[in-house]
Amino acid sequence: MGTVAFGLMAETVGDPGKFNIILFLGLLGALVYVVTIAGGSRAYGNWATTKLKSRRSAQLATSALGVIIFVDDYFNCLTVGTVMKPVTDKYQIPRAKLAYIIDSTAAPICIIAPISSWAAAVGSTLYETGAFQNELSAFMSTIPYNLYALLSILMVIILSITNLDFGPMARVEKQALETGDLGALDTELEEKVLMDGKGTIWDLIIPIGALIIFSVLSMLQNGGYWSGEGLTLSAAFGNCDASAALVMGAFWALVVTFLLFIPRKLIDFKTFMGGIGEGIKTMVPAYIILTLAWTIGALCQDLLGTGLFIGELVKASNIPVGLIPAMIFLVSALLSFSIGTAWGTFGIFIPIVVMISQYTSPELMVVTLSATLAGSVFGDHCSPISDTTILSSTGAGCDHIQHVSTQMLYAIVVAACSFVGYLVAGLTYGNLILTWITSIGLLIVSLIVFHRISKSRINRLNYSTPD
């Protein structure tokens, strides 16, 4: 079994898409490191705190940036963390909270953005079923019913405004405010590099801007937008190899950074090249966790056949028509959590859902497809072996297990509200207004109740004095 696992690990890492993600992580780590030692991150943090006057505005700004960067979830996780860490640190927002905001505006926003790597993956899966004339239109129709993704984003906004935190997240919030311990990894390294460098805010904005621009241009070029075939923007994004495009974007951003820093003698050539090596080294824990997560996911999906087994159970069951969306959401959520991938989950379930809906309830096909995508996002959002969960903790500089444990209860609350919403949608044959009134109302009530239950316990904790 060990030989098989190691063989599968080598095969997984050798996959071009996954290898490109490792390359992208290394290049991004290098970019972040040289920008930091040049003083760009510190300068941006100092500037941002003059514009963002409170913890609330810092959290809302982080959420907004996460929503804006909708093209790819990997890109989202690492870019938002890089840009916003100096700001959230200034206001003593724990890294676990930053990781939660990043994670909740990564996969959830990508799954509802028509121009994204996720939309392309869903669209291609829908096309392969042969049930839709226009897969983009089919994808767009699922967006209003993607309860988990939309409620996750809404919950981040509500928590940022109201501070209705509860559970493990409330504990780390209290600890951060009372002791200044943000739960950051490599604190000594961050303090060291932030002491050096005389960079300005532009020494962060230009490299990150170059990363965004070159990544998007690479996606369009990779997807054949300028090939003369008359492809639309959405079609080009759908055809592109996002991981390869991100590698090119990060490479050219590093070139721009070199040309920006070296002629101005902000840092010398030796320091720049040494910073590249040090930046790549900072990503080693992420490499290890990602490799193990990919291997576990491949073991469950390819060798154990977890997805196919669950899919056959769903097909063989005699679930009442009105309960199908809720049941599909629940099963796809459990599967995506266990194998750590949304793409693998909806790749398995979309053909099954289309087949079931065609024979039982064509009028509920859109709702059921939305439930499939929503359940898939749940696992990608909070599974400890999900790549976006890992990248969110990496981007925030947060302990991975702490990120998973503090986020889990929040994700479960949103999932429970989504499950009830799909019950309503199924039983009312897709009544969107009633579905959303029920889901949002239940979410708000849940937040208030859990906050009040948790508040008395949290208030008894005292982190300001040693045990």
Tokens of 387: 């790549």
Q: Give the CA count within 13 Å in the CB-facing half-sphere of 357.
A: 24
Contact of 207 with 31, CB cutoff 8 Å: yes
Tokens of 376: 């898939």
Q: Across the strands, what pairs with 184?
A: 398
Distance (Å, whole) CA 379 – CA 345: 9
Q: Supply the pLDDT for residue 188.
A: 47
User: Rounded distance, CA 432 to CA 221, Å?
Assistant: 38
**Residue-level pLDDT at 430:** 85
Question: pLDDT (tens digit, 9 = 90+) per residue, 278-336?
Answer: 888 877 766 776 676 567 666 665 666 655 665 566 666 677 888 889 999 998 999 88
Q: Tell me how far the alpha carbon of residue 192 is from its chain's centroid.
A: 29
Q: Can you give the pLDDT at residue 380?
A: 83
Distance between CA 183 and CA 391 in Å, rounded? Answer: 16
The pLDDT value recorded for residue 467 is: 42
Token digits for 251? 């490479």
pLDDT at 196: 56
Return d(Cα 423, Cα 435) in angstroms, integer: 8
Could you tell me which of 435, 430, 360, 385 has the C-alpha nearest to residue 150?
435
Tokens standing for 22? 């490792």
Give the relative orientation of helices 16-37 and 187-195 as an angle to the nearest 10 degrees: 50
What pLDDT shows up at residue 189? 47
Counting Cα atoms < 13 Å in the Cβ hemisphere of 160 gives: 23
Would you kindly state where each structural domain of the chain is located, as residue ranges? 18-460
Residue 146 and residue 383: Cα distance in Å, rounded?
Answer: 19
Contact 416, 118 (CB under 8 A): no
Nearest to 85 by CA among 298, 452, 354, 395: 395
Distance of CA 354 to the CA centre of its chain: 27
- Alpha carbon of 128 to those of 21, 121, 242, 354: distances in Å? 26, 11, 20, 11
Q: Is 134 left (phi over 0), alpha (psi -120 to 50) or beta?
A: beta
Best CA proximity match to 185, nearest among 262, 116, 95: 95
Residue type, 301: Q
What's the 3-state SS for 142-192? Answer: HHHHCHHHHHHHHHHHHHHHHCCCCHHHHHHHHHHHHHCCCCECCHHHHHH
Residues 6+ apart with CB under 8 A from 237: 71, 115, 116, 117, 119, 120, 219, 220, 223
Closest CA relative to residue 363, chosen from 421, 429, 314, 424: 429
Its pTM stands at 0.74
In a 13 Å sphere around the CA of 243, the CA atoms on its Cβ side amount to: 12
Give the Cα separation of 38 and 36 in Å (integer): 5
pLDDT at residue 64, rounded to an integer: 86
What single-letter DSSP state applies at residue 398? B
Neighbours of 221 (CB within 10 A): 15
Q: What pLDDT is stored for residue 153 in this prediction?
A: 95
Q: Which residues of the chain have pLDDT under 70?
A: 1-14, 17, 41, 45, 71-72, 75, 115-117, 120-121, 123-125, 127-131, 133-137, 185-197, 230, 234, 237-238, 285-286, 289-290, 292-294, 296-317, 462-467
pLDDT, position 432: 92
